Amino acid sequence: MNEYPLVTQLKEASDYDKVFDLVKSTVEKSISQHRAGLTLILAEIPNHIGAYFVEGGNIIVMNKTILNAMKQLTSTKEEFNSFVYSILTHEYLHSLGYSEESVVRPLVKKISEEHFGPSHITSTLSSHELYSIYPKLKNLGPGRENNQDFEVIDNFDKSSMSYIG
């Protein structure tokens, strides 16, 4: 039996919503907290920001430029999904009220290690700077500020939506 059965689910996750389902379930198992009704937006933002949570709201914004670069830099779907998992877990914790980076980063590492193992890429991503693991990201330049172009991801956090018939 696999000691970390969620590794297979992460490897097979087909979209952001499937990865986010893993985020929510692992966070709830680890710290007994849950939140529903979040929206994911992809936007070109300054490249020193991987993502951010709009405090007081329900929106997570991920850096589209970094996301597209990671699609090229990662060698497997599991590695790319691990990147998405790490970013979404970090921002999900912010949405739960954890505002201090000094608390959030170790918590993402703890959750990743508990559910994927200490040697899994999710654990590595949670405990190192992204640019140290993927130095080619430094070549992306500064990114864009005040960009009004964005993409709302359909069917994100759909497990939190009730069915209306």
Q: Residues for the chain: how many in total?
A: 165
Confidence of residue 1 (pLDDT cuts 50, 70, 90): low
Strand ranges inside the chain, DSSP E: 39-43, 51-53, 59-63, 150-152
Percent share of the chain, pLDDT over 70: 96
Could you state, in order of their start, the residue ranges of all structural domains in the chain? 6-158
Give the global pTM. Answer: 0.93
Task: Give pLDDT tens digits for 100-145.
Answer: 999 999 999 999 999 999 999 999 999 999 999 999 999 998 888 7
Superfamily assignment of 6-158 in CATH?
Answer: Metalloproteases ("zincins"), catalytic domain (3.30.2010.10)
H or E, element range at 17: helix 16-31
Taking the C-alpha atoms of residue 52 and residue 136, their distance in angstroms, rounded to an integer, is 22
| CA-only gyration radius of the chain, Å | 15
Tell me which residue has tokens 């964005």.
150
